[in-house]
Structure 1
């Protein structure tokens, strides 16, 4: 009896179980999960999640991932598979997944970038890829062979939409006013004082993020956008390391060492770099007095020789599963030697020689820079993207520089003179930041936070003239300038995404207090202003092959120390630059629509944008006593409308071509005193990069750059065409890599500017020349060769 009852009960239970399973299989199920990068664990936004029919192999339904990489969709299909894909990553397919209580929880789905499997090591894809996210593009530095041994400035010049001229000025889509960040935060290394970015080499860079329309979460500084340089940090467990050596001509020698030790609770990371480089610069300048026909012409060679050292030390301490504390520091030190030799000629109205003399310069400087940061992050247990982040960041930059100038007459009128200058510069910047992210459900996410930046600068600059064997201070060129700026900001954003459509909007409030003091004249400048900076972004995915994004943001460019400080640079004492303490900030409203296409072996991106800027800051030239003076002024408004095209085509595994083209037309309106600066003009630029895989495991790369000529408020700038090339070969089973690169192969990268006014004209020409570099890197422990990338593996 008991056995019969048990058998009957078991039969009934089994029947109920089978019935429930069939009901679950025949009913609707929910599929959830999060897509992240295999290397580094970064979320992959806008990845495609497809549910397909196994019989027809055609799609049934699908969705795209949110900003945090998460996804959720429902289906009543029975014989199905799930496929997850994104541009630049390998597809993943899942078959025979069994739901539990009507839900398939896929957890974290890790996508690998396209990669080549080697016997002992997984090496990243051969092409540096641009990933498109809701409010930014991510350029993975990858294996850009032509950047071997290059500084961060040279790496930036290979990034789509970015141009760096021979003076090191960075522009985005043809406009300056770019804010450059390191690891998402302001840094002394990105300032204008010295060749600060030169201490960061391509070996150390993981990726570059280009944000043309930043959301309200980001600092509003930078009218044309933000460039964020992300420094690599190894995340694999155990001991990892790599070493790199570079040498080149002109002298360009560097050494890099990366060490990492990761345990369950600690992650210790460090990078050391040292090197020496020479940066020669051929110059030519002509100042013409159009009133009396006289002119001053000069031709010379300048050097910037640098010995540099850089060390990064840091640790992550995992307090528990949800809380991590990071303490890191960065110290950089430069020793500069800047000799120059320039020959001058003074010509009369008939172009006859009046006098000729030679000016030599000897400049020595030391530039210590250090940065330290304490960061705390807490992940709440209720949701993986519910977190709180606090950071305190301190930066310091100093410069102690002395220069000696001597003018020696060669013929004609006596121009003998001796001068010396002294510079004592100190800058301290402190940034405190708090960010809070709260997802309310799968559709709604809120972000809020605040930031406080204190910037304190002192610049003591003195010029002495040798008179009767005694140095006498020149009061017209000597000053002590103090600069103190405080910016307090709070922001809030909300994001909503459902199915193929997503939206993100927010607003940022910033209050700025600026005080400057020119001690010699007791000239003060006090500015206090509060601004609102709204932003909005939206996206829609029409299909797996076509999607669109649109964005708006308001930005500001606050004049910095070098814009405001009325100090003089007398390297060429007939072409000097001074600041303007009365400058006002310029503001930009930026609009953009972007479409992304995936067409077989090609991926295309097309953008249309418009920027409207008020109180535009321009360098205005004046002429007095044969001397050209450049001074920044607020000159009216600028309307710029442009288009940008990015494309990549890989017809074969051994060949890839990438292109980047930008065109914009601008309308200038402005005046200064009685002079009107109204005009219309345009400019465009193009980059074309090809990569070839050759026999014997050799990779070859060539990158061509063209920047068109364009009109300025007082003259024009000439066009520029140059080519970079490189080759790489893996050795020692992929643990070692040798690189060879040539930048500016034909020595054709020349910067020419000309200013023409009623009473005077100026012409300036500068050229750096060809750079050849040879590099070797090797990975040890569990590490791999750096391959001049710094990507997490």
Structure 2
């Protein structure tokens, strides 16, 4: 933002001010010329300044046009002309002699300033948080420890956000987070397939964390919204970047970004391809405390993925006020999931009854694609007066087959062969209209609507091998259909003065949900209409101290995976099921945040409270020796917490960033005769240090800690792990070599335990250490040359 202001708005303001001070008089001199860079490409919006030699202060000025040309007049007698643009060396002309009242500087070539360009690039590499009235924006920059990582690893470095080993995202310790891409729902953020795996860190520009969204945003997500903004170049001319990554376990990827900006068109594209292995060590223990029997399982599962991701789009500038954008995204995954698990069955005396091995061979293909048509109109009366319409289509399919074989090693015969087949299809359409109308510099109104249609079909079949013939298992075979439509309208009003701002609004959403379990003809229909109010305010005491407060009401609607009665039998003694009778959960969220800038440190401190009804929790039951996990609505939850974020840069070569979150929660609820009332707390912390070493080497380390906490039926263990990385610039700063290690000490272990009167379960998962080497190279006009020529 600072660069755009400096290179675009400041020169224009200077021009208007100085031009009005200079009245046309006899003896005016007209100065003309054309500014180009090495290679002959014109430099648009370069600053042309006429200054007084005696005082060395500016007299008048202008900026170059799209073709690099400029023309301005002065009646000064003893002056100089200086031409500058960020990322280039300045050029100054003295002792100019006019001819017939004119000076033609002809073609002026600016050479790239390597040092200045490097400083700008470094500034863009630092992740930082910006506070706005109703959200926080975390600029990802180029965090070294995220080299070659997927979007999930990037999110784990974002303040307030945690991602567990299963890829579940939580915000301030609570799940129910809505993840958007470029402000809209996306197939890539769903639970099906690899979710965010095809988006790599190189493709992400910033992450917006919205803990208390205004009524303008979708009400989905009880904990808030995380919006991942994908990079889209808008620099004039031809620009691009290329990245290569390799690592152990196998993690190889290639990325290419290309952009071509002309007067009318901005063509942008991104290509990503790769292969990764995700090993997963698992251990489970199911104990039946009534019979005394137990099942032990231990093994390693793999999720090996070959993935491709292509983004292609164009902006068409109808005129300076209207832009039409058409874009498409195609992602394709080829999965191979081999696993081998050893089982032991023991009796009440802990004597071995049977031992067997279960092997799995799974293959799947996951095509995902989306397209979007967007139209934006900027009205001439105010830069923020605009109308935005978008139509978005998302499609996801999964074609998966699995073969399971149980082979007895000793004891009772456990030999068995099973196979499964999954055909999954999902289509989602989103139509959105937003209108923003500033009445003056202080008052602004926003209004709009959204319609989302989601249609899903999941055809799942399990066959058992009996007498050399596969026979369908009716208890595990089903076709589940899910259809949800959500219609929303909203309105907000905002007032912002020099120090104080307030924003309030309300959103109305009508939800129609229908599910059908075809093999039993079980139907579930839900229709409900809800209002979601929001209010935000901020007050700026001075440049160094400000305070914000916000309230919003949110909803979490159970999705397909929550509602589908069957999930999988990968481990047939630990099965996850859905619940078609689940109701949505609602949250009222309040928070107050204070922001301080003290010397070289920036600090913010938040206090928040969330009250949630119809809380959805996974409840475990033991049927025989099989552990079944099923979501249920369990009462209410009151969570009160504090969060601290800080950044300190005592010297240019060192920056420390910290994020600490603590909350205490009170659970009230019951299921049947079982009561789930209890109080507990949890906290998490992150500490990141960036150090600039000699030889243009940057080093970064990030420590993460997540405390143990009590759950409705047991507890989850704590977690402590460390990531580190190093980076060196080469090829005059345009090339970068990266090295990163995630989970350096292989200490990121996820352990959960359920303890009930009649049974107990234990689960342990570990992914292990990941090492990655990366190389990236940018070509074109350089990171410093942001193209900012037209109103967006």
Relative distance call for 1:95 and 1:573 in structure 2 (3 A) is farther
Matches within 5 A, 1:224-303: 224-303=223-302
Deviation string for 1:397-429 (max 9, x for gaps)?
A: 000000000000000000000000000000000
Q: Distance in 2 between matches of 1:737 and 1:111?
A: 21
Deviation string for 1:439-463 (max 9, x for gaps)?
A: 0111110000000000000000000
User: 1:123 is matched with which residue?
Assistant: 121
Deviation of 1:626 (Å)? 0.5
Deviation of 1:544 (Å)? 1.2
Deviation string for 1:631-660 (max 9, x for gaps)?
A: 000000000000000000111101111000
Q: Does 1:175 align with 2:174?
A: yes
Q: Does 1:443 align with 2:442?
A: yes
Q: Distance in 1 between matches of 2:494 and 2:567?
A: 49
**Does the 8 Å contact 1:331/1:370 carry over to 2?**
yes
Q: Does 1:573 align with 2:572?
A: yes
Displacement over 4 Å in runs of 4+: 39-44, 94-98, 783-786
Q: Provide the secondary structure at the position in 2 that maps to 1:382.
A: coil
Deviation of 1:196 (Å)? 2.0
User: 2:751 is matched with which residue?
Assistant: 752
> What are the ranges of 5 or more consecutive residues in structure 2 without an aligned counterpart?
11-55, 61-84, 88-112, 786-792
User: 2:385 is matched with which residue?
Assistant: 386
Q: Distance in 2 between matches of 1:362 and 1:123?
A: 47
Q: Distance in 2 between matches of 1:357 and 1:41?
A: 69
Q: Distance in 1 between matches of 2:318 and 2:784?
A: 32
Deviation string for 1:348-403 (max 9, x for gaps)?
A: 11211111000000000000000100000001111111110000000000000000
Deviation of 1:550 (Å)? 0.1
Q: Distance in 1 between matches of 2:713 and 2:86?
A: 52
User: 2:423 is matched with which residue?
Assistant: 424
**Does the 8 Å contact 1:241/1:783 carry over to 2?**
no
User: 2:76 is matched with which residue?
Assistant: none
**Does the 8 Å contact 2:506/2:531 carry over to 1?**
yes
Deviation of 1:119 (Å)? 5.8
User: 2:781 is matched with which residue?
Assistant: 782
Q: Does 1:615 align with 2:581?
A: no
Q: Distance in 2 between matches of 1:158 and 1:233?
A: 22
**Does the 8 Å contact 1:156/1:163 carry over to 2?**
yes
Deviation of 1:127 (Å)? 2.2
Deviation string for 1:158-217 (max 9, x for gaps)?
A: 000000000000000000000000000000000000112000000000000000000000
User: 2:582 is matched with which residue?
Assistant: 583
Q: Does 1:200 align with 2:199?
A: yes
Matches within 5 A, 1:131-530: 131-530=130-529
Deviation string for 1:217-239 (max 9, x for gaps)?
A: 00000000000000001111000
Q: Provide the secondary structure at the position in 2 that maps to 1:155.
A: helix
Matches within 5 A, 1:515-554: 515-554=514-553
Relative distance call for 1:205 and 1:785 in structure 2 (3 A) is farther
Q: Distance in 2 between matches of 1:196 and 1:111?
A: 39
**Does the 8 Å contact 1:242/1:780 carry over to 2?**
yes
Relative distance call for 1:784 and 1:383 in structure 2 (3 A) is closer
Relative distance call for 1:95 and 1:354 in structure 2 (3 A) is farther
Q: Distance in 2 between matches of 1:162 and 1:710?
A: 17
Q: Distance in 2 between matches of 1:443 and 1:724?
A: 45
User: 1:38 is matched with which residue?
Assistant: 4
Q: Provide the secondary structure at the position in 2 that maps to 1:38.
A: helix
Relative distance call for 1:42 and 1:179 in structure 2 (3 A) is farther
Q: Provide the secondary structure at the position in 2 that maps to 1:324.
A: strand
Relative distance call for 1:37 and 1:554 in structure 2 (3 A) is farther
Q: Distance in 2 between matches of 1:647 and 1:251?
A: 36
Q: Distance in 1 between matches of 2:461 and 2:9?
A: 52
Deviation of 1:111 (Å)? 12
Q: Provide the secondary structure at the position in 2 that maps to 1:123.
A: helix
Q: Distance in 2 between matches of 1:617 and 1:545?
A: 41
**Does the 8 Å contact 1:692/1:699 carry over to 2?**
yes
Matches within 5 A, 1:725-740: 725-740=724-739
Q: Distance in 1 between matches of 2:620 and 2:147?
A: 38
Relative distance call for 1:435 and 1:119 in structure 2 (3 A) is closer
User: 2:49 is matched with which residue?
Assistant: none
Deviation of 1:38 (Å)? 1.9
Relative distance call for 1:504 and 1:40 in structure 2 (3 A) is farther
Deviation of 1:95 (Å)? 9.1
Relative distance call for 1:785 and 1:147 in structure 2 (3 A) is farther
Q: Distance in 1 between matches of 2:58 and 2:330?
A: 54
Deviation of 1:499 (Å)? 2.5
Q: Distance in 1 between matches of 2:288 and 2:604?
A: 49
Q: Provide the secondary structure at the position in 2 that maps to 1:150.
A: coil
Q: Distance in 1 between matches of 2:400 and 2:783?
A: 40
Deviation string for 1:773-793 (max 9, x for gaps)?
A: 00001112325699xxxxxxx
**Does the 8 Å contact 1:241/1:784 carry over to 2?**
no
Q: Provide the secondary structure at the position in 1 that maps to 2:732.
A: helix
Q: Distance in 1 between matches of 2:9 and 2:392?
A: 25
Q: Distance in 1 between matches of 2:481 and 2:154?
A: 33
Q: Distance in 2 between matches of 1:769 and 1:214?
A: 36
Q: Distance in 1 between matches of 2:752 and 2:241?
A: 43
Matches within 5 A, 1:13-24: none
Relative distance call for 1:744 and 1:42 in structure 2 (3 A) is farther
User: 1:696 is matched with which residue?
Assistant: 695
**Does the 8 Å contact 1:500/1:540 carry over to 2?**
yes
**Does the 8 Å contact 1:240/1:780 carry over to 2?**
yes
Deviation of 1:619 (Å)? 0.3
Q: Provide the secondary structure at the position in 2 that maps to 1:579.
A: coil
Deviation string for 1:527-557 (max 9, x for gaps)?
A: 0000000000000011111000000000000
Q: Distance in 1 between matches of 2:678 and 2:450?
A: 39
Q: Distance in 1 between matches of 2:583 and 2:195?
A: 26
Deviation of 1:117 (Å)? 6.6
Relative distance call for 1:427 and 1:37 in structure 2 (3 A) is farther
User: 1:631 is matched with which residue?
Assistant: 630
Q: Provide the secondary structure at the position in 2 that maps to 1:733.
A: coil
**Does the 8 Å contact 2:288/2:624 carry over to 1?**
no
**Does the 8 Å contact 1:242/1:784 carry over to 2?**
no
Relative distance call for 1:761 and 1:661 in structure 2 (3 A) is same
Q: Provide the secondary structure at the position in 2 that maps to 1:146.
A: helix
Relative distance call for 1:602 and 1:785 in structure 2 (3 A) is closer
User: 2:683 is matched with which residue?
Assistant: 684
Q: Provide the secondary structure at the position in 1 that maps to 2:298.
A: strand
Relative distance call for 1:97 and 1:387 in structure 2 (3 A) is farther
User: 1:57 is matched with which residue?
Assistant: none
Relative distance call for 1:476 and 1:244 in structure 2 (3 A) is same
Q: Which stretch shows the higher mean deviation, 286-295 or 610-619?
A: 286-295
> What are the ranges of 5 or more consecutive residues in structure 1 without an aligned counterpart?
1-34, 45-93, 99-109, 787-793
Deviation string for 1:709-746 (max 9, x for gaps)?
A: 00000000000000000000000000100000000000
